[in-house]
Amino acid sequence: MNELPLHGITVVDLTRVLAGPFCTQTLGDMGARIIKVEQPGVGDDARAIGPFLGDASAYFMSVNRNKESIALDLKAEGDRAVFERLLERADVLVENYRPGTMEKLGYGWEQLQARYPRLVMVSISGFGQTGPYRSQPAYDMVVQAMSGMMSVTGHPDAGPCRVGVSIGDLGAGLYAVVGTQSALLRRARTGKGERVDVSMLDCQVALLENAVARYGATGSVPGPIGSRHPSMTPFDVYAAEDGYLVIAVGNDGLFKRLCELLGLPGLVDDDRFRTNASRCAHEAALKRMLEDKLRGHSRAHWLKLLQDNGIPTGEYHSVSEVVEHPQIQARGMLAEVLTPSGESLGVAGNPLMAGGGKQVVRRQPPALDGDRMRILEELGLAHAPGEGD
């Protein structure tokens, strides 16, 4: 009864850097066994990306817990034999090479499907396996720009701005997790594996739900509007006497209550603010009036008053404040991983496990090729085919 939901699922992980490793780490957090296949000598590119804790990359460690590592050269006959032995036992293969690379290696979907009919193959790429851009390389910044995500991020007249995290990679990684589990559910019914094709660009467009719908409904092109919501007001970051807080009012009833609590009951009867639509049309004027009042007391004063009276609000946090926040700690959203030399690094946890009493880190981020001998022994190989006598 204590088994994690993906216990018993084996994933062969050919991914590197962020989108793919984030996908496989999430699968590993939920109980799957992740066997990370890396390039001999250098490993995942992320191992060379800082910041570093001793000789270990914090970037790599943040997305590679709960994995084993074996280094294989998929162009070398002996290592290919080991890889194919792994595929015989695997439920899922995840890769994020440029489309066409797996086919050149002899491991394209049609070839794998014929040899391993129950295998689920998950392919993450910049633009997907089809379309005129399929062969183009991409990083997070490329798809943020091309998808329109950057066009609705930041402040007016401030120039293009990326989202503050690598949402192009992270979004693709999460959609890949959903696709993997969906394919496994279907296999449970049909007995057959399938190909999951995840495009980073597609995933960014999917995350533009509100912007695309607004363009479809109005014909106007959405642009950057800072922190406020495009369709609800007041719904923004506001300045108090000693810091910032967020106030998010989603209906007329909440707005009336907010005005009463702030001692501004006359705003409710002001034609500019009587309805949500009119408040959106006069958002700047309303924000000035609210901040004139909010600057009269501390952030703590307003947070207590508003939260105690059912107004959705929250403090604006830096990352250092987030990791110390009691709600984040209570929900288990912080994890600790260790470098191969034993140094500790705090990383983000897994929200799917939070509060469930599960241990998120069951295996530390692996050293390159650190599990080779054990994996080979498990496969019945004293050494890799082609090695030794």
Contact 48, 57 (CB under 8 A): yes
Long-range contacts for 373-382 (Cβ within 8 Å, ≥24 apart)?
374/68, 375/35, 375/68, 375/70, 375/86, 376/70, 376/82, 379/82, 379/85, 379/86, 379/89, 381/82, 381/85
Decide: helix, strand or coil at residue 93. Answer: strand
The catalytically annotated residue of 7, 155, 229, 301 is: 229
β-pair partners for 102: none
Residue 137: cis peptide before it, omega within 30 degrees of 0: no
**Selection from 231, 327, 244 nearest residue 279 by Cα:** 231
Beta 244-248 vs 344-348: how paired, if at all? unpaired
Q: How far is 37 from 56, CA to CA, in rounded Å?
A: 18
> Cα-flanking dihedrals φ and ψ of residue 57, to 5°?
-80, 120
**Selection from 41, 51, 47 nearest residue 16 by Cα:** 47
> What is the b/e burial string over 258-268, where b = at least 16 CB atoms within 10 angstroms of the residue's CB?
bbebbebeebe
Contact 247, 257 (CB under 8 A): no
DSSP label of 69 = E
> Known catalytic residue: 229?
yes
Q: Give 189: exposed, middle or buried? Use CB within 10 Å, 0-12, 13-18, 19+.
A: exposed
Question: Known catalytic residues?
Answer: 229
